[in-house]
Amino acid sequence: MSEDNINGLSHLIDKEINSEDKILKPDFNQKSGREFLAFYLQSKFKQVLAFDNKAEQPVFLSVKHDFIQRFTKRLIKQPEKRIMIGITGESASGKSTICDKIANTIQKFDMPVTILSTDNYFNDISALIAKYGTFDKLRDNGYDVDSPNSFQLDILKEDLEKISTGENIYSPEYLPNGTGISVPKAKYIESNKIVVVEGMASMYGHNKDIFDVIIYVETDLDIRKERFLKRAYTERNQDLENAEKHWQYILGAGEKYIKPYKNCADIIINGDTNLEYFAQILEYIYTITNNFED
């Protein structure tokens, strides 16, 4: 990523903040105020896309032509509803990193945000692991870990519906220690105004229908493999043979279970984007949509 892009965006943010020609803040409690915001958001988002399109390594690979209109229409009609953002992508695409960057940037501006990982909705497979000895042996005997059948989708759907209406929940917690244990209602999740849900299961079944924004993270295959193998060695203590076996498994699972949802995405993001530049894009979006004269 060129320093010119980062410096150029910093200049635009400063220019927006220090502008003396600001619009009087509308009353967002009134429908007319929300309609103005919708029109304003549409025009400003086009500015963001135009700037990013000129970057050497753009953040936005694709945006559905009607996304911003649909999103702003929802803001007008249901202002009380939580803003639900779903993030998916194949394994090692960078979706968790993108999710964290979105959350950190939102929190920087003192905006409450909820983060929910759907990996905690894996089925409890402790009995199967005890039977076969290890997760790798269980996989080698045909267990399809990325299949929709491997998740507690009914519980996830119920939890997403509750969060979207402002209800706090207790989600399950899947222990990442190789035991396959899932602890019911173990993690307290507060329903904040912005809810970011990350993981492949976010799109399974009818879960995708609850989101206002669906983001698909796409990354070069070689970069994904490098990330995956590094994670296998350092975090999961897998030997090379098992790591390679599991990489081959997730390639097939990604084609079968994850890639079809790329067509559902409102936004496709570059998973190898410069994170500093990505954070600035988010900051620019925040600035241009909150920089009104009181």
Each residue's pLDDT, cut to its tens digit, for the chain (294 residues) gives: 456 566 667 777 787 777 776 667 777 778 888 888 788 888 888 888 888 988 888 999 999 999 988 988 888 888 888 999 999 999 999 999 999 888 888 888 888 899 999 999 999 999 999 999 988 899 999 999 999 999 999 999 999 999 999 999 999 999 988 899 999 999 999 999 899 999 999 999 889 999 999 999 999 999 999 999 988 877 766 788 888 999 999 999 999 999 999 999 999 999 988 888 888 888 888 887 666 666
Which strand (E) or helix (H) includes residue 85?
Answer: strand 83-89
Same-domain check for residues 193 and 219: yes
Quote the pLDDT of residue 241: 85
Mark whether 227 and 283 lie in a shared domain: no
Q: Are residues 35 and 65 in the same domain?
A: no
Contact 81, 34 (CB under 8 A): no
Of 171, 191, 211, 208, the closest CA to residue 85 belongs to 211
Is there a single domain that holds both residue 147 and residue 224?
Answer: yes
3-state secondary structure of 174: strand
Over the stretch 209-232, which tens digit does the pLDDT of each residue have? 999 999 999 999 999 999 999 888
On whether both 54 and 116 belong to a single domain, the answer is: no
Q: Per the structure, how many domains does the chain have?
A: 2
**Rounded distance, CA 265 to CA 271, Å?**
14
Q: Looking at the structure, tell me whether residues 162 and 244 fall in a common domain.
A: yes
Whether residue 284 is found in the same domain as residue 250: no
- Give yes or no: residues 182 and 285 share one domain: no
State how beta strands 60-63 and 267-270 pair.
antiparallel
Model pTM greater than 0.85?
yes
Domain of residue 76: give its range. Answer: 60-272
One domain, residues 52 and 96: no
Q: Do 190 and 279 lie in a common domain? A: no
- Rounded-to-integer distance, Cα 244 and Cα 232, Å: 9
- Extract the tokens encoding 206: 């009818």
Same domain as 210, residue 68: yes
Note whether 118 and 38 are same-domain residues.
no
- What's 165's domain CATH number? 3.40.50.300
| Strands laid side by side in the 267-270 sheet | 60-63, 267-270, 213-218, 83-89, 194-198, 113-117
